[in-house]
Amino acid sequence: MIPEALALSAVLFTIGAVGVLTRRNAIVIFMCVELMLNAVNLTFVALSRLYGMTGQVFVIFVMTVAAAEAAVGLAIIIAIFRHGQTVDLKNINLLKG
Amino acid sequence: MSAMPNFFYQFQFYLFGLIAIASAIVFVTRRSPVAAALWLVLTMFCLAALYVMLEAHFVGVIQVLVYAGAIMVVFLFVVMLLNLGQPSELSDLRGKWGRLVAGLLGLALIAQLWAVTGPEFRSSLLQPADHITTELRERGAVGAVAQPLFAEHLLAFELTSVLLLVAIVGAVVVGRRRGLR
């Protein structure tokens, strides 16, 4: 079932990437990134059946980093919302010349 | 990888895979962030089931506890803190077809649960023996992950704790109101 798992992982990663590119709500884009991380985790788990437990150990690390990233990213989103009362990325263009 | 997995295993694998893809597509297309987050939770539960079927039992449990349980709750908390959920959009997929699909899916999952508890199907879920299954049988689901984590990757593990501390401090500093000293 490893080829099927890898194909599923590729499909999920693509859906996440499409979401990042098409959505404009910052929180939804963040959740799409989480979906992409999950797809990569599925690849690690599937390949760990072939190459040993290191893949599963790496999944633990990826989840830890994802948790840290979610905490910092959501704090940034809250700060942006306090600044401009919006999380729509269309309206966040302070750096535009 | 010598023996082909049997039909029951394959059916479960494809069912959870299809639910994962379908809920991911629905997740990307929802307009309300609350509905999107809940669909993403469904995707993560399906992925946890696939992890367990791929002999990663501990990772499956952590997926449910950390991802579906903790990270998505933080996301929902922020959505509701900022009052971004659009209540008119919450009742999505509530039509006749939505209920039909939901009912059929629930029946299929209950039938699977019933089949797994029966003795004739339980043995068919056992995977052909390879090095992962033997390691799981020797050390248990947690020990098989913990042994390389605390032996070969100890430095990375300790660095992760520093990363978490930095992330917590950073989140507090970024998220606090300006002017509060």
Q: Give CA separation, A23 vs A30, B63, B93, in Å.
A: 10, 25, 20
Which chain B residue shows the shortest CA-CA distance from A21? B28
B36:A31 CB<8 A: yes
A56:B56 CB<8 A: yes
- What pLDDT score does B18 carry? 93
The answer to whether residues B28 and A15 touch, using CB atoms and an 8 Å cutoff, is yes
B163:A70 CB<8 A: no
B132:A38 CB<8 A: no
The DSSP secondary-structure symbol of B147 reads H
Chain A residues touching B33 at Cβ < 8 A:
25, 27-28, 31
Chain B residues touching A84 at Cβ < 8 A:
none
B170:A72 CB<8 A: yes
- What pLDDT score does B158 carry? 93
- What pLDDT score does A9 carry? 95
Report which secondary-structure segment, H or E, holds B92. Answer: none
The answer to whether residues A13 and A36 touch, using CB atoms and an 8 Å cutoff, is yes
Instruction: Specify the pTM.
Output: 0.88
For the segment A61-88, what is each residue's pLDDT rounded down to a tens digit? 999 999 999 999 999 998 888 888 888 8
Euclidean distance between the first and the last CA atom of chain B, given in angstroms as a whole number: 61
Percentage above 70 pLDDT, chain B: 85
- Return mean pLDDT, chain A: 90
Query: Between A35, A41, A66, which is nearest B24 by CB?
Result: A35
The answer to whether residues A92 and A80 touch, using CB atoms and an 8 Å cutoff, is yes
Q: Give CA separation, B23 vs A7, A72, B73, B118, B181, in Å.
A: 16, 26, 18, 29, 44
Q: What number of residues does chain B have? A: 181
Give the Cα separation of A89 and A20 in Å (integer). 11
Which chain A residue shows the shortest CA-CA distance from B136? A53
Whether the pLDDT of residue B145 is over 80: the answer is: yes
Query: Strand, coil or helix: what is B175?
Result: helix
Give the Cα separation of B114 and B105 in Å (integer). 14
Whether the pLDDT of residue B1 is over 50: the answer is: no
To the nearest whole Å, the CA of B4 is away from the closest chain A CA by 9
Whether the pLDDT of residue B89 is over 70: the answer is: no
For the question of an ipTM over 0.85, the answer is: yes
Euclidean distance between the first and the last CA atom of chain A, given in angstroms as a whole number: 52
Whether the pLDDT of residue B94 is over 70: the answer is: no
Percentage above 90 pLDDT, chain B: 33
